[in-house]
Chain A
């Protein structure tokens, strides 16, 4: 079994295609949608966790990409601008997965992209606006 946390960008022409149901029916994958939206430019955006057989997962993602869906790993979606971060800690009680946390001994505020689910709650809460998203 393999797990992938990904962001799918659907072009406008594909918004009405049943991509996710094919992943389930044809490739036998489990999915958990963390976020989904359609941007003002009519691009579809979906953040999801996929779980299934390693080779089937790879084949499924190949097919989806060939159809024109752009796929990025999830951790790329929220990044921390370390030049702006002052390590105050205002984010740490807001982050639901503790991807943002304070090291008790050093008092450093650390960001672990592997734990981030790109909920973006930290973005407006960060006083110096250090948490950034590309969209």
Chain B
């Protein structure tokens, strides 16, 4: 007997909804079977916590006197984007100060960047903002140097183009001599280590592999506050190859997420430094999945041993788009501490915190049980496997200078 969002929300309001985490759902289905679980369970909560580079914050500072239209903006010396109007500023998580040595002394440390500015704002700390402009009749002011605080901003929200990747590659280094420094962490030479970055069985999109319940308007846990799916994420690729259970065998779906930073906590939003690579934002995301029917009960019971990820060489095949995966391993194997690659036992390390993912799924469950968090019914689901939408590379073309292109 299928359920509707309205029926589930009615039960949440009445304090009668049955809510379990995706980890607990595995046991529920193992004991009761999918049919009974589908009837009994209303919502399964998921969680993930890891670096999500394609994130940023939209800020409106309020107008200055005299008025100013920001042309260039720096927040704690990190350049922000202000090619909008007039006192809107977007700070990207991976931006670094213009005077940062970056990788000139390789591997660079990348101790500070946009993600750290975002963390400090959420922490309630003052941030120094410097802005300049060319001045107009309506916006005459040309310079500004001030402290800002999240409390005083009109709006401060995370506006993240790509979060919560559905599955991801396992990174290894085939170079026989040299350690490499990547967004997947330090990878030791000659298959010395392997890193992965997914909560596996607890991860949001792995529990709804065809996005049957996730779309524009889905209400989520974002950074410790309430957020929303505003669109499919960039690089959303629903046509990635899938295993028999429907779960993609590599990076596939992604979410565009938005949420009020004033509700967030630095426990779930942290600036991080990837040695020799750059700055990123470690972010906590949790998505509630309504158990509308038997299929959703089956999908949310997925286990680590049923989800596989591709092994990718980051010394050559990833950066140069050469060759494919060196095979696939399950999250159960990855979490055992070592995997076998080309006949060699390779120790594994995650970049995504499973304990914090459990904490997020549990917190979201408590919010729903307390009647504080209702499901947001998507007004439009994000494209699924039947959309035919793939993942293109840029087609570089010669520039014809006579053809009107600048």
Contact = CB atoms under 8 A, between A and B. Distances in A.
B233 to A, nearest CB: 21
Interface in A103-135: 104, 106-109, 124-125, 127-129
A109 B335 CA distance: 13
**Residue from the set A88, A92, A108 with the largest chain B CB neighbour count within 10 Å:** A88
Interface string B346-363: 011111111110100000
Contacts of A74: none
A84 to B, nearest CB: 8
B109 A124 contact: yes
Contact of B351 (A108, A124, A127): A127
Given A102-B337, A125-B275, A108 B355 contact: yes
A125 B272 CA distance: 10
Contacts of B282: 86, 88, 127-128
A108 to B, nearest CB: 6
Q: Is the interface of A mostly helix, strand, loop or mixed?
A: loop
Contact of B188 (A89, A93, A107): A93
Contacts, number: 78
A29 interface: no
A89 B349 contact: yes
Contact of B347 (A88, A93, A108, A125): A93
Contacts of A92: 347, 349
**Residue from the set A91, A102, A127, A128 with the largest chain B CB neighbour count within 10 Å:** A127
Contacts of B192: 93
B195 interface: yes
B49 interface: yes
Contacts of B185: 90, 125, 127
A19 interface: no
Contacts of B111: 129
Contact of B355 (A87, A90, A91, A125): A87
A87 B353 contact: yes
Given A87-B356, A88-B350, A125 B186 contact: yes
Contacts of B356: 86-87
Chain A contact-residue range equals 20 to 34
A106 B354 CA distance: 9
Nearest to B271: A128
B238 interface: no
A94 interface: yes
Interface in B152-205: 185-186, 188, 192-195
Interface string B263-299: 0000000111111000010100000000000000000
Contact of A128 (B194, B270, B354): B270
B68 to A, nearest CB: 35
A86 B353 CA distance: 6
B401 interface: no
A88 B351 contact: yes
B51 interface: yes
B274 A88 contact: no
Contact of B275 (A87, A104, A109, A124): A124
A100 B351 CA distance: 14
A109 B356 CA distance: 11
Given A104-B337, A127-B273, A88 B186 contact: no
Contacts of A108: 355
B336 interface: yes
Nearest to A108: B355
B47 interface: no
Nearest to B350: A89
A127 B350 contact: no
A30 to B, nearest CB: 31
A102 B338 CA distance: 12
A86 B270 contact: yes
Interface of B: 49-51, 107, 109, 111, 185-186, 188, 192-195, 270-275, 280, 282, 335-337, 347-356, 358
Of all A-B residue pairs in the complex, the 5 with the closest CB atoms, nearest first, are: A127-B272, A93-B193, A107-B354, A89-B350, A93-B349
Given A88-B351, A93-B193, A127-B51, 19 more contacts: A87-B353, A88-B350, A88-B353, A90-B185, A90-B195, A90-B351, A92-B347, A93-B188, A93-B349, A102-B349, A104-B335, A106-B355, A124-B109, A124-B273, A124-B275, A125-B185, A128-B273, A128-B282, A129-B272
27 contacts: A84-B270, A86-B282, A86-B353, A87-B353, A88-B49, A88-B350, A88-B353, A89-B349, A89-B353, A90-B349, A93-B348, A93-B349, A102-B337, A104-B336, A107-B358, A109-B353, A109-B355, A124-B275, A127-B272, A127-B273, A127-B274, A127-B280, A127-B282, A128-B270, A128-B271, A128-B273, A128-B282
Interface of A: 84, 86-94, 102, 104, 106-109, 124-125, 127-129
